[in-house]
Structure 1
């Protein structure tokens, strides 16, 4: 394998004809390699903070890294790090994200012959925060997934249905949540609750965990105040062939921030990457 690192940008149709934007970070490899797919969390996006740097580190280690924006995450192809499409954000739901992830895998399979490296067909999933739950749901049903890793994942999705008292939410039709980074109130329409009810069997994470057959790595920060460490313990208790790694003094983003101002990464994030890469290379 040799450098330099390369990154290719992609756009393709996701759920409800909305575009998914993604990029593949890779190097030159002597033999066949797997592909890592990364799913971001709530109010997240593919180029948040240290995610692009993580992609480069994985690529150097022989793990091409595909990260993408969910079709309804609120970003646009012209504004990859700003929530310019709040209508899409408000109409996002778990079913859309789960379907988007399946479409990402379909797209990579179709494009594989044009890659500048040989893909061995293996897919390694990583999901952060709420994206971890989406990755777990996909791994429970999609046999194309070879390994899965969660970073600070939630252990259930029902908590998001409690953002607002349900009758009040239904009456108002919308609930607004603040974005501390941008100081903008972001809408979540009541369709979010309806979509979960209509797809509850497919989206109930607790019922799906026992169906995960692939090896699973669960990494969580001991100082996470957004998603408590007990969520990691819950997932670990339900997936018997899983590995749990607790990182001391690590917060929800493993002590990284947005925007990334320097390439020197915190010890907690370095440990996260090392543990995940070693798991994928086992």
Structure 2
């Protein structure tokens, strides 16, 4: 599937509801008219769900699945999330933490949302996929996790809130997570009755996603799990929060991805022949398997 996203005006995306495992999600990317924002080819918003009944970090294995050709990027807004994969990586992150997995030439992973003893009972998260350049799709898988305290965070002027640099660079701050196509993901927490002006880099493709509370984005009211794809060449994005609660805003994108994109199931490759190879290698057992015994 190939898409063109260039536009002379901002475009609103509401997403579609899907059931992923046991969870209801809103899938914003891909959409019928949008395949990517920069190298970001996938965005699922996992709606808030009460998991106070579930304190186990161990997956059942029923939802373990493969990936190839992409990076998976999970960001937890509340609750906790465990990770297991076929390369022996395992970690647990809490609210404000993130997990980055470069699938490269093939890996199987499983993620388990749950609630720790001191967590608030609601699990709420986002998952992005970042498309790798063709050569990086051949590389060995890698995994990295950051807890909330490890994520760079800057204070906004005039007590306006904070901006967390989940991926990429922002001014003097940079996430330790690797990037491949100048991709970036920022979490803006905008205080009540506050504003913030953001100037994208020249030629970047940029989208804005608001999880719940509504904010004004260049004169457009955005919120409640909706995404705004900004117009090509935009020089300034002004966020205005006139509510009495802080607003959570995700700003993401990067340089245009100029290689062929062919996506099918959990694989994103450069051709249908590459997709066929990805499936063939998976069914041949080339991605390994998850062994939970060593962490129990």
TM-score of the pair, normalised by structure 2:
0.24
Higher strand share: 2
TM normalised by structure 1 equals 0.25
More helix, by proportion: 1
